């Protein structure tokens, strides 16, 4: 006699149980991973995003801002006579409370190269030893190279360059000029009044 009961299918039942077990493991594993991530965030905070690389030419990689400019004085040879010529040079030294605009201007003058159509009567190697702004004027001490070489016209020219550059911010200011720590009373064959002012220079020199 033939039975109406369905024939058992052991392979299908086994596959179903295996699938159920795998799903349970996956769910459990996901829960463990989620719990671990939650613990990490709770202890360390949210992980930081990797920093982005700046593209060339971006603001982060842009060159430093342009240097400041300072007013300086060169010389020009006009009809065999030296005359002062005002110019502008770049300087990395900002005006300060010590000597206002005199320090950046004089530093720019000593470090810059004169334009092709101008003359620089200051010898190479001249450096600022000290510079102070006091109640009676600007006190400037230059290195000994300032006295090297040149005739009377050249000596007058370099005095004018330093005086007018130092007083560019205040044309009425007085300049007390020293060389290697000693007051400069003579340069070549020229007597140098102390202090130097633009008015005194015009009265004593022919430049």
Distance, in Å, from the CA atom of 191 to the CA atom of 140, rounded to the nearest integer, reads 18
pLDDT tens per residue across span 45-75: 544 444 443 343 333 433 344 468 899 999 9
For all residues of the chain together, what is the average pLDDT? 77
What's the pLDDT at 56?
Answer: 37
Q: Please check the confidence at residue 7 and state whether its pLDDT lies above 90.
A: no
- E strands in 49-143: 68-78, 81-91, 128-134, 137-142
Q: Please check the confidence at residue 17 and state whether its pLDDT lies above 70.
A: no
Q: Is the pTM value of this prediction over 0.75?
A: no
Q: Please check the confidence at residue 16 and state whether its pLDDT lies above 90.
A: no
Q: Higher pLDDT residue, 153 or 52?
A: 153
Phi, psi of 59 (to 5 degrees): -60, -35
Question: What is the band of 95 on the pLDDT scale with cuts at 50, 70, 90?
Answer: low
Tokens of 64: 């430093």
C-beta atoms surrounding 145 within 10 Å = 15
């Amino acid at each position: 006699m033939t039975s109406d009961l369905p024939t058992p299918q052991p392979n299908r039942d086994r596959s179903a149980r295996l699938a159920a077990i795998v799903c349970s493991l996956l769910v459990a594993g996901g829960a463990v991973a989620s719990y671990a991530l939650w613990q990490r965030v709770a202890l360390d905070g949210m992980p930081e995003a990797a920093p982005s690389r700046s593209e060339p030419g971006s603001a982060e990689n842009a060159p430093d801002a342009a240097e400041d400019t300072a007013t300086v004085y060169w010389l020009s040879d006009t009809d065999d006579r030296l005359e002062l010529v005002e110019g502008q040079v770049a300087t990395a030294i900002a005006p300060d409370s010590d000597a206002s605009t005199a320090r950046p201007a004089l530093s720019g003058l000593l470090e810059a190269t004169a334009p092709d159509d101008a003359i620089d009567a200051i010898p190479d190697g001249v450096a600022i030893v000290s510079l102070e702004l006091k109640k009676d004027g600007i006190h400037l001490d230059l290195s000994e190279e300032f006295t090297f070489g040149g005739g009377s016209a050249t000596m007058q020219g370099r005095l004018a360059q330093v005086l007018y550059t130092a007083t560019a911010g205040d044309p009425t200011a007085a300049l007390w000029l020293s060389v290697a720590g000693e007051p400069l009373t003579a340069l070549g064959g020229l007597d140098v009044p102390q202090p130097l002012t633009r008015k005194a220079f015009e009265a004593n020199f022919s430049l």
